Chain A
């Protein structure tokens, strides 16, 4: 497997969701468990840049796709900008959802550098924030995209 730009050898059953392979076997705990059912987005990672739910992705299905987790987000300029905006605008409350939110936001801005509010809604609707930080998530995305708040 290729995780955050590094080759990693994984010994696990093929049906193990990528979420648990990352957390329990590889030791990357930034990807979070929230529901295990594709409902919360806390486990969002990128496969070749596209956002997927790691809890719904068996490791056997990953193939040769490059995996990026929240720990690898700062490898790109866009990732670093998002992280800086998130910190400066003080988006997190508990912070548990924010790794998944950032991965979803990074995928959005990669494909749609100047998103509309509807684009943001569509890209972020699958990511729950139980603390209710959506107002600031939207503001941080817009700040990075340079679109009007």
Chain B
């Protein structure tokens, strides 16, 4: 077995498989000393396995939540390995960060982090197979070519399958990963081609794939009833009455650890079927001791935020020039306050997790985007070793960030141990909405000044957000570099943090999903104030195509790429077209998660105020290569639909510290008849490929609001949009 560093903590290994195969994989630095005699066990797991009969298996390391990662990342390996896509089988990895490094579906980071290393892994395996063939055939490596998992020697018309070479290749030293020859992207046969999802046939035939489909012998169904008010605890419950219900096996109080991200207090019900557990819930009566947030409400927060208009926040975020001094000298000034509400994620598969506890071993079947925090909480609360928690990452029925938190995993493990039986914990939709992790609401009190030419000379923003004791909560902070910071000479952004008891969490394009609406709507207002075309005004604001900020940093801003997508979306939409009365075109752009996106939208607003989105054009720049165009377009269209649906009708409102909505009737998801045609274009720029799960979202809500303004002259500064304001 041979090893080479793949990253600081991981090594790449290769070795022989029993039966004459080759495996190619990764593990923690030092795993070689574990005495693994050439098989991917004991802390080593294969990325690639090649068997003598030429069966090839690729292991997908990241959670699949619908972002298509189980297809796109293996495509990179198989491309460089030079096998046919039809020749490989894809397998889901277990959660083990020592082996795989980061295993998170979040931040649109997988493509960014893995594009290069997975290609090199595939290329290294190919190089070893070619070397093995060269030795076997007694010809120089340079005379050999590969394709369809075969090595060919054209001059002598001989070829050998990878499978036939696997045993020999397993004995060779690993090539230098940095020096392996990668394909010229022009020669790609897999990467860049639309590839249907590897599990599509299983999905369309209803095969058990998802967390909620998991089943283990002897398993019971568990439900966990928590206080409607976040942070609440159980004073008493009629457990005996609940236990008397047919099909109910047990009911008990869980005290929890006071942390809604880990284990809240509640009543656990164990039953033979979900239906029995649901009936038990109906009979359950709990006296709750409300939590710290019992007096918190959306209305109260709105009042507190409104009172801050015209003031400065105690936290300075970013300052450049002197906005206070520049503002009075501006030729034109505009003040506006913007707002977006709390949201929940509401993925179609509610939170669930199957858990089996056996002594100090815990085994979980978890639909998770982020297994490690769950492992850590369980190890801590159950007093077991982190290594003793085995996590099967199940396909997720949507994530959108909700499954980055892992309280449902902790709950399942805790309940399984207390009940002494394996359980499948299922949250109802009502649990999912009322115990959502909130996308933080926010308010922005903005003012801007324009000079006589209509150029923005001053900009201030008092951002009102949420957290605890002055510290921003999860997904509630604003970046120092949020556009148009660094593009306006006199700029100030400061913030106030309101105390919130409810847990907050990342939701698709976190924070940016609100910022995009605010910044690009206000910029639109300024364009009209300046009497300029909204596209021309934005071009001037972006200025010369240049990189703002250090090139190697995440927070640099490439004006050239922003201009590229802005121009593309405008061109696709036929910007400047004359439209009938009460119809309008709107445009917006936004940079987040390393991706630049612009959206243009055409709407028609009925006299009664109803908004119909007639068409959307989305242009994105995520680097020089789209790995899987089929998945990529699906992600962009999905993000656009998500964003329109949210802007049109979604708000999670707090009252008495509890969410008022309960199901999809109160928290509507966009439906088929409202879905417009969405045209997607990618602007390829010479930059490393980056992810697509999120960056198409933020430009969409402002494109909608700006189109509505173009159609009606009504500026919407609050989401979700209020069609009452749009009546003719």
- A-B complex is real: yes
Interface residue ranges, A against B (CB under 8 Å): 12-13, 15-17, 20-21, 23-25, 27-37, 39-40, 42, 69-71, 73-74, 82-83, 86-99, 102, 120-122, 124-125, 127-138
Does B620 interact with chain A (Cβ within 8 Å)? no
Stretch of B65-73, B118-126, B497-505 that contacts chain A: B65-73
- Chain A residues positioned under 8 Å from B640 (CB to CB): 132
**Which residues of A have CB within 8 Å of B670?**
132, 134
A71/B663 in contact, CB under 8 A: no
User: Closest chain B residue to A124 by CB distance?
Assistant: B672
Residues on B with beta carbons closer than 8 Å to the beta carbon of A135: 637, 675, 677-678
Known contacts A90-B630, A102-B204, A127-B672, A133 near B349 by CB under 8 Å: no
Q: Which of B195, B203, B213, B631 has the most CB of A within 10 A?
A: B203
Q: Which residues of A contact B195 (CB under 8 A)?
A: 90
Contact of B275 among A13, A32, A128 (CB under 8 A): A13
Q: Find the A residue at minimum CB distance from B638.
A: A132
Q: Which residue of B has the minimal Cβ distance to A58?
A: B275
Option from B350, B396, B630 in Cβ contact (under 8 Å) with A94: B396
B209-234 with Cβ < 8 A to chain A: 209-210, 212-213, 215, 221
- Check if B631 sits within 8 Å of A90, measured CB to CB: yes
A-B residue pairs in contact (CB < 8 Å), sample of 15: A16-B275, A29-B208, A30-B205, A32-B397, A33-B212, A35-B663, A37-B663, A82-B204, A87-B200, A90-B194, A96-B349, A133-B634, A134-B641, A134-B671, A135-B675
Chain A's closest residue to B665 (CB) is: A39
- Of all chain B residues, which has the CB nearest A123? B672
A24 and B275 in contact (CB under 8 A), knowing A93-B68, A134-B641? yes
The 0/1 profile, CB within 8 Å of A marked 1, for residues 611-647 of chain B is 0000000000000000000110011011111100100
The interface residues of chain B lying within 8 Å CB-to-CB of A98 are: 203-204
Chain A residues touching B, majority SS: loop
The yes or no answer to B197 lying at the interface (CB within 8 A) is: yes
Q: Is the CB of B275 within 8 A of A99?
A: no
Known A-B contacts A34-B429, A83-B201, A137-B672; A132 and B212 likewise in contact (beta carbons under 8 Å): no
Option from A24, A83, A87 in Cβ contact (under 8 Å) with B273? A24
Is B243 located at the chain interface by the 8 A CB criterion? no
Closest to B214 in A: A29
Please, which residues of chain B bring their CB within 8 A of the CB of A130?
A: 346-348, 398, 400, 642, 669
Task: Please tell me if the beta carbons of A74 and B205 are within 8 angstroms of each other in the complex.
Answer: yes
B contact patch SS: loop
Q: Bound complex: CA of A34 vs CA of B350, how far in Å?
A: 7
Task: Determine whether B206 belongs to the interface, using a CB cutoff of 8 Å to chain A.
Answer: yes
- Contact between A17 and B275, CB atoms less than 8 A apart: yes
**Least CB distance, B572 to chain A, in whole angstroms:** 16
Q: For the complex, what is the distance from the CA of A88 to the CA of B640, rounded to whole Å?
A: 23
Contact of A37 among B200, B429, B639 (CB under 8 A): B429
| A74: chain B residues within 8 A (beta carbon) | 205
User: Contacting A95 at CB < 8 Å: which of B215, B273, B395, B639?
Assistant: B395
Q: In the docked arrangement, what's the CA distance between A19 and B638, Å?
A: 27
Q: Does B420 contact A (CB under 8 A)?
A: no
Query: With A and B bound together, what is the CA distance between A133 and B637 in angstroms?
Result: 7
Q: Contact at B200–A90, with CB atoms within 8 Å? A: yes
In the bound assembly, the distance between CA atoms of A134 and B201 in angstroms comes to: 18
**Using Cβ atoms and an 8 Å threshold, which residues of chain B touch A17?**
275
Q: How far is the CA of A69 from the CA of B207 in the complex (A)?
A: 11
Cross-interface CB contact of A134 among B194, B399, B426, B675, cutoff 8 Å: B675
Closest CB of chain A to B418's CB: distance in Å?
21
Question: Chain A contacts of B206 at CB under 8 A?
Answer: 28-31, 69-71, 73, 99
Chain A residues with CB under 8 A of B196 = 87-90
Residues of chain B at the chain A interface (Cβ within 8 Å): 65-68, 194-197, 199-201, 203-210, 212-213, 215, 221, 246, 272-275, 278, 346-350, 395-400, 426, 428-429, 630-631, 634-635, 637-642, 645, 663-665, 669-673, 675, 677-678
Whether A95 lies near B66 (C-beta < 8 A) is yes
**Contact status A131-B638, CB under 8 Å:** yes
Interchain nearest-CB distance for B150 vs A (Å) = 27
Nearest residue (CB) in A for B677 is A135
Residues of B within 8 A of A122 (CB): 673
The smallest C-beta distance from A67 to any residue of chain B, in angstroms, reads 13
Complexed CA–CA distance, A132 and B637 (Å)? 7
Contacts A29-B213, A37-B665, A40-B664 given: A71-B349 contact, CB under 8 Å?
no
- Could you say which of B209, B215, B346, B637 contacts A27, with CB atoms under 8 Å apart? B215
Tell me whether A94 and B397 are in contact in the complex, defined as CB-CB below 8 angstroms, given that A125-B671, A130-B346, A130-B669 are known contacts. yes
Q: Which of A98, A120, A133 has the most CB of B within 10 A?
A: A133
Q: Write the chain B residue with the least CB distance to A31.
A: B206
With A16-B273, A131-B66 in contact, is A92–B200 under 8 Å at CB? Answer: yes
Which residues of A are found within 8 Å of B66, using beta-carbon distances? 92-96, 131
Chain B residues whose CB sits within 8 angstroms of the CB of A83 once the complex forms:
201, 204-205
Known A12-B273, A97-B397; further 9 A-B contacts with Cβ < 8 A: A20-B274, A21-B275, A71-B205, A83-B204, A87-B204, A92-B199, A93-B635, A95-B197, A130-B669
In the complex, the answer to whether A94 meets B348 with C-beta atoms within 8 Å is: yes
> How distant is the Cα of A71 from the Cα of B179 in the complex, in angstroms?
49
Tell me how far the C-beta of A34 lies from the nearest C-beta in chain B, rounded to whole angstroms.
5
What is the bound-complex CA distance between A16 and B399, given in angstroms?
Answer: 29
Residues of A within 8 A of B429 (CB): 34-37
Which one of B203, B272, B274, B677 lies within 8 Å of A92 (CB-CB)?
B203
Q: Among the interface residues B195, B246, B348, B669, which one has the most CB atoms of the partner chain A within 10 A? A: B348
Q: Are B275 and A120 in contact (CB under 8 A)?
A: no
Measured in the bound complex, the distance between the Cα atoms of B630 and A33 in whole Å is: 28
CA distance A25 to B639 in the complex (A): 37
On whether the beta carbons of B201 and A20 are closer than 8 Å, the reply is no
* B residues near A89, Cβ cutoff 8 Å: 196
Chain B residues, Cβ within 8 Å of A94:
65-66, 347-349, 395-399
**B212–A32 contact, CB under 8 A?**
yes
The interface centre, meaning the residue of B213, B429, B637, B638 with most chain A CB atoms within 10 A of its CB, is B638
User: With A and B bound together, what is the CA distance between A96 and B207 in angstroms?
Assistant: 11
B107 CB to nearest chain A CB (Å): 18
CA distance A74 to B210 in the complex (A): 20
Chain A residues within 8 Å of B428, by CB: 36
Question: Chain B residue with minimal CB distance to A97?
Answer: B348
Interface contact B67-A93, CB-CB below 8 Å: yes
For A132, list chain B residues within 8 Å (CB).
Answer: 637-642, 645, 670, 675
